[in-house]
């Protein structure tokens, strides 16, 4: 994997399962699905329904001085969701910064890129959905995408999403519930192996404005508001398909 720049924190991802009065936790290694990590922690069957309930960003220093950026993804079964966040009150979550300080021992046969990204299902008072179109020269060019993107080192996951929504669409959105968490792992023959964890939040824009791209020379070529009927006729990115499909199957609590 590409090493961090000098002074930049090491990135770590952990997954947690609310079991009632306690919260189990484990490290998410390169290529692992956070939900599968949680199922292994809890001894759950592959068919057990899980709900993503929170993402916590920790900026800490390990005892050996290593600066760490930890994104902790929290899941619960249906009957234990109400126990969060009180189940974690008063103590730090495991694995601890000490346990996370060591890097991963990965094969050196190819470059590996890791990414943690935050995306929004963004709507307004009239029910229209806000989308951005990917610029030429970027993966998925020309498709309509969910506003959002990579969380920078040292940046809170919700603050990153608000920034991305503003840069890509010119809107001031309020980040609400965590909706779902997904992972993406693919390799290119002779090229990079890419692994990403995607988190999807609901974002509400109370006072919508005409959508416009504010970032310069970035990955967004256009943005716009669409009715659900219009969205159905658009060519969507894989990320947008995954997030919107979840919304079609579940109503927000």
- 179-212: pLDDT as tens digits: 999 998 887 666 778 899 999 999 999 999 999 9
The CB density around residue 191, as the number of other CB atoms within 10 Å, is: 9
Class of residue 179 by CB neighbours under 10 A (exposed 0-12, middle 13-18, buried 19+): buried
Q: What's residue 1's pLDDT?
A: 41
Q: What's residue 101's pLDDT?
A: 92
Is 98 in contact with 82 (CB distance < 8 Å)? no
Q: Report if pTM > 0.85.
A: yes
Q: What's residue 187's pLDDT?
A: 74
Q: What mean pLDDT comes out for the span 107-136?
A: 92
The residue extents of the domains of the chain are: 10-100, 112-249
Residue 225 CA to residue 169 CA, distance in Å, equals: 9
Q: What's residue 237's pLDDT?
A: 96
What is the band of 5 on the pLDDT scale with cuts at 50, 70, 90? low
Is 149 in contact with 161 (CB distance < 8 Å)? no
Q: What's residue 253's pLDDT?
A: 45
pLDDT digits (tens, 9 = 90+) for 130-171: 999 999 999 899 999 999 999 999 999 999 999 999 999 999
Q: What mean pLDDT comes out for the span 7-12?
A: 88
- Residue position matching structure tokens 């792992």: 185
Q: What's residue 39's pLDDT?
A: 96
Higher-scoring residue by pLDDT: 60, 248 = 60
Q: What's residue 75's pLDDT?
A: 96
Secondary structure, 3-state, the chain: CCCCCCCCCEEEEEEEEECCCCEEEEECCCCCCHHHHHHHHHCCCCCCCCEEEEEEEEEEECCCCCEEEEEEEEEECHHHHHHCCHHHCCCCCCCCHHHHCCCCCCCCCCCEEEEEEEEEEEECCCCCEEEEEECCCCCCCCCEECCEEECCCCCCHHHHHHHHHHHHHCCCCEEEEEEEEEEEEEECCCCCEEEEEEEEEEEECCCCCCCCCCCCCCCEEEEEEECHHHHCCCCECHHHHHHHHHHHHCCCC
What CATH architecture does domain 112-249 belong to?
Answer: Alpha-Beta Complex (3.90)
pLDDT at residue 234 tops 90: yes
CA distance to 139, 145, 152, 203, 231, per residue, from 173 (Å): 26, 17, 19, 6, 20
Instruction: Please give the span between the terminal C-alpha atoms of the chain, in angstroms, as a whole number.
Output: 38
Lowest average pLDDT, out of 125-139, 209-223, 236-250, goes to: 236-250
Q: What mean pLDDT comes out for the span 235-242?
A: 94
Q: What's residue 107's pLDDT?
A: 77
Residue 33 CA to residue 52 CA, distance in Å, equals: 13
Higher-scoring residue by pLDDT: 251, 225 = 225
What is the band of 108 on the pLDDT scale with cuts at 50, 70, 90? confident
pLDDT digits (tens, 9 = 90+) for 47-98: 898 999 999 999 999 888 989 999 999 999 988 888 898 877 656 899 999 9
pLDDT at residue 2 tops 50: no
């Amino acid at each position: 994997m590409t090493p961090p720049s000098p002074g930049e924190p090491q990135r770590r991802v952990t997954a947690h399962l609310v079991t009632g009065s306690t919260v189990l936790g484990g490290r998410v290694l390169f290529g692992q699905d956070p939900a599968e990590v949680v199922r292994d922690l809890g001894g759950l069957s592959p068919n057990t329904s899980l709900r993503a309930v929170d993402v916590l960003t920790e900026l800490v220093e390990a005892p050996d001085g290593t600066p760490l950026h930890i994104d902790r993804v929290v899941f619960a079964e249906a009957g234990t969701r109400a126990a969060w966040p009180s189940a974690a009150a008063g103590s730090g979550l495991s694995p601890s910064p000490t346990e996370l300080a060591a890097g991963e021992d990965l094969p050196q046969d190819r470059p590996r890129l890791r990414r943690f990204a935050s995306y929004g299902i963004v709507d307004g008072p009239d029910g229209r959905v806000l989308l951005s179109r990917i610029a030429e020269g970027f993966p998925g060019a020309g498709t309509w995408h969910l506003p959002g993107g990579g969380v920078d080192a040292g940046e809170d996951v919700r603050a990153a999403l608000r920034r991305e929504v503003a840069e890509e669409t010119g809107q001031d959105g309020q980040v609400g519930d965590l909706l779902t968490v997904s992972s993406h792992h693919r390799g290119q023959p002779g090229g990079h192996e890419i692994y990403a964890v995607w988190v999807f939040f609901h974002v509400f824009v109370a006072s919508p404005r005409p959508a416009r791209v504010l970032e310069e020379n970035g990955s967004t070529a256009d943005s716009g508001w669409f009715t659900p009927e219009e969205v159905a006729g658009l060519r969507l990115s894989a990320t947008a398909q995954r997030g919107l499909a979840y919304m079609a199957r579940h109503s927000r609590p």
